[in-house]
Structure 1
Amino acid sequence: MSSKSDVEQDFFVEIDDTVGDYSARSVSAALRKVENLKVDDLPAEHRCGLLRRHAEYLYMMSNYETMKEKRVEMLETAYKKARQGHVMNPNDFECAKVLCSTCGRLAEESSLKKKLDYGFKFKTYLDEAIAISDQDFELCHMRGRFCYTVASLSFVERCAAKVIGQIPDVSYKMALDDLLKADRLEQGVAENQLFIGKTYMALGDMVNAKKWLVKTASNTTEVPLEQEYVDEAAALLEEKKFKSIKI
């Protein structure tokens, strides 16, 4: 008997094949196919799968968008699609991951009020996803990045956050544990390498910080968002505090 995932893959095989190598061109083509389908016209068991793909492809395409306003607009649409799918099937792991990804990115890209609102929602979604599986690169990276971000909040941001809800009790050490675990699960990811370097900086370990920033800066990519991580690492390495440090 076929499993649920096999049945879903068979149903979406044409769209999944279109995604191919996940280049901007192939993802854009798959996105157009998804947008031509209506959720209500599909069998109930495939509706979450469609919404998840719609959200995932929008998220991927946002990585190629250089205008922040347009990027946030795409992420907001992706978030709505992923949330709709998550409500339909809270146990769908892939949909839960995309919901975390879109919500987490919106927490970083939005203004302070929305940033805090999305941040609290993100923590809820992340806990739900990790309850399904805690051995996933993306989830470990997102939790580590979340811990780093919360630990880095300014006094003003903390005051604003307390109006919305209870700030999680996290630390840079917790962030580092998750980010290093993510690297063990999948190495060579510039985004994760950058945050490992920045976390070591926050902990005052400048030798390890430089090691990871050098790794980040050595990456080559054609994806604009990933290039931003590479450029940020390169810019940090130009700071005076790193010049005398040998690795």
Structure 2
Amino acid sequence: FNGSGVMSRPGFLILRSLLLTAVKGKIVRALTQVKYASSVWARLIPTTAFVFPLALKAMADVSVIQEADKLYDDYKVEDAYNLLSKYRDSKCDEYLWRLARIIYEKSKAVDNPEKKKLIFEAFDIIQEALKINDKNFSCYKWNAVLLNKKSEQEGTKQRIQEAENVKANMEKGLELNPKDASLHHMLGLWCYNVADLPWIQRSIASAVFATPPTSSYEEALESFLKAEEISPNFYCMNLAMIGRCYMKLKNKEKAIEYLSRIKGMTIKTADDKQALKESDEMLKSLK
């Protein structure tokens, strides 16, 4: 049976064969076979639903995922890497995007050429994850991050060329999960960086594109505030960028309000430390 009360084709074929046997006079044997086949089919039904998805895509162990996420949240980068690297060849998108994420985190602690090597490794892994599951918003999120970081390593022209692809990945991630605060933050960063593009890079963009990417500090602020609305105080850097946008928009009072909030937050990650440093510098400039 297929779960809706309708017998599936394999079940129908078994029953038809057995009934034909009964018609030929082997009623007792047929009934015995029906009873046996029914018991076997009943045992198969709970597992059959899982056989085909498993053949198409490897399933993640929930306990491993929970442990990996906790290690990431606690910023135990090496421990998280040691755990997830065991699943490098798993063909499971949930393992792979997390592995790409933690390798990218490792890249923040080193300089080139090691940084570049790690970023390119993480980028290759996230490509695999997307091929396995193109409906996973986290794959698009980390593809956006890593495509941007990879293009940074390849030079200004390449970064500008990939700008729209980076944005497209963020927008696809938000289409799949509009409540992800970090994706809204990333889109805000994209808007801010485009709005803040130096003159020489704008000239390159104009040469590369018939219509170069455009944005504004207002658009950036809108995305950062949306992220904060979804998950208040989730990320020190989001508060720092809100403060930075308000500075660009000449709203000193609001800038001080958001920048001051960072001092009361837990500082764990490399980004947290950077946000604290930048917020201190901005607050000093506002006094």
Deviation at 1:230, TM superposition (A): 0.8
What's the CA shift string for 1:153-173, capped at 9, x where partnerless? 122111112333333332211
Amino acid in structure 2 at the alignment position of 1:176: L
Number of the residue aligned with 2:59: 8
CA offsets 1:84-107 (integer angstroms, 9 cap, x no match): 221332211221222123334556
1:60 aligned to which of 105, 110, 116: 105
| Larger gyration radius, structure 1 or structure 2 | 2
Matches within 5 A, 1:166-181: 166-181=211-226
Tell me the TM-score normalised to structure 1 length: 0.80
Q: Report the equivalent of 1:141.
A: 185
Output aligned runs, 1:35-114, within 5 Å. 35-39=85-89, 42=90, 46-63=91-108, 65=109, 67=111, 70-106=114-150, 111-114=155-158
- Asked if the contact 1:104–1:142 (Cα under 8 Å) also holds between the matched residues in 2, the reply is no
**CA separation in 1, counterparts of 2:228 and 2:88?**
38
Q: Which runs of 5+ in 1 are unaligned?
A: none
Unaligned residue ranges in structure 2 (runs of 5+):
1-45
Tell me how far apart the structure 2 counterparts of residues 33 and 87 of structure 1 sit (CA, whole Å): 23
Aligned equivalents of 1:47, 1:112: Cα separation in 2: 34
Q: Which residue of 1 aligns with 2:257?
A: 211
Which of residues 274, 280, 283 in structure 2 aligns to 1:228? 274
What RMSD in Å do the two structures reach over aligned CA positions? 2.8
Structure possessing the higher relative contact order (Cα contacts under 8 Å, 6 or more residues apart): 1
2-structure distance, mates of 1:76, 1:121: 17
Q: Post-superposition shift, 1:205?
A: 1.2
- Opposite residue 173 of structure 1, the aligned amino acid is E
Report the AA paired with residue 146 of structure 1.
W
User: Is contact 1:58-1:74 (8 Å) kept?
Assistant: yes
In the alignment, which residue of structure 1 is the partner of 2:229? 184
The CA distance in 2 between the partners of 1:17 and 1:120, in whole Å, is 35
Aligned equivalent of 2:244 = 198
